[in-house]
Amino acid sequence: MLLPEEIGRRGMVEKVADAVRIAMERAGISDPADVHYVQTKTPLLTIHTIRDAKARGQTVWTEHTHESMDLSNGCTALGIAVALGEIGMPDDADVMHSRDLYSSVASCSSGVELDQAQVVVVGNAPGVGGRYRIGHSVMNDALDADGVWSAIRDAGLKLPDRPHPSDLDGRLVNVFLKCETSQDGMVRGRRNAMLDDSDVHWHRQIKAAVGGVAAAVTGDPAVYVSVSAAHQGPDGGGPVAAIVDLGPEPTGYRRP
């Protein structure tokens, strides 16, 4: 169980890290290098849980419930990174501030419907076999199409130096991405308006932008793109996981 006063702090990092290690063990994965995607769902703060913490003499990281979604996701990602040896144990002050601390395989979500961390680890378990393989990489910014191609290559699909969607030929099952608007409001030296737009929250804008980049790579608009990627990949970018089918008759998407 995650207490409201732990969200955004070391207590949450430690509990998530423990859960990831247990999930790896249950998946038959001992080497963190074989882990390519970790999907989580964790609680965020609500009016009721904030009141509960205060009633017990505790403080919370923020009283803004919407902000606590980014907070819960980011703190969870740090727990994943600790479990996989990507970083050492961070301090409370690092959460949401030290954006150079991140996991390259974390995909974190949060909601009001639970009070504990749910963790799914996806990797290539030794000796299992089968036709499907997963790989990962990161997008270094919102336009980094090469990061998507790199994840597909990491999954084991051989591609030419300058690949085209037609080179996938039904071998790509899908890609899964997290994204985040850069904290400085810039992309490759150009200013974007996402953080300043009073009409549409940046969550929607960056998801649409990165989804378009990913679809241009895969040739398939049915890509999974999730937002709120604090500590999930580099600032302004995010992790990419790709599942490919290496079987004799591929089952992935082919353009009609």
- The residues that are catalytic are 41, 109
| b/e per residue 50-88 (b: at least 16 CB within 10 A) | beebeeeeeebbbeeeeebbbbbbbbbbbbbbbbbebbe
Contact yes or no for 218/148 (Cβ under 8 A): yes
CA distances 61 to 87, 93, 140, 170, 220, Å, are: 22, 11, 28, 46, 40
- Between CA 232 and CA 78 the distance in angstroms is 8
Joined tokens for residue 165: 């969607």
Joined tokens for residue 217: 């790579």
- Between CA 223 and CA 135 the distance in angstroms is 16
Sign of the Cα torsion 216, 220, 223, 227 reads: positive
For the chain, state the CA radius of gyration.
19
Taking the CB of residue 113, how many other CB atoms lie within 10 A of it? Answer: 8
Residue for token digits 């423990």? 18
Query: Which of 110, 83, 123, 92 lies closest to 178 in space, CA to CA?
Result: 110
Joined tokens for residue 220: 């398939």
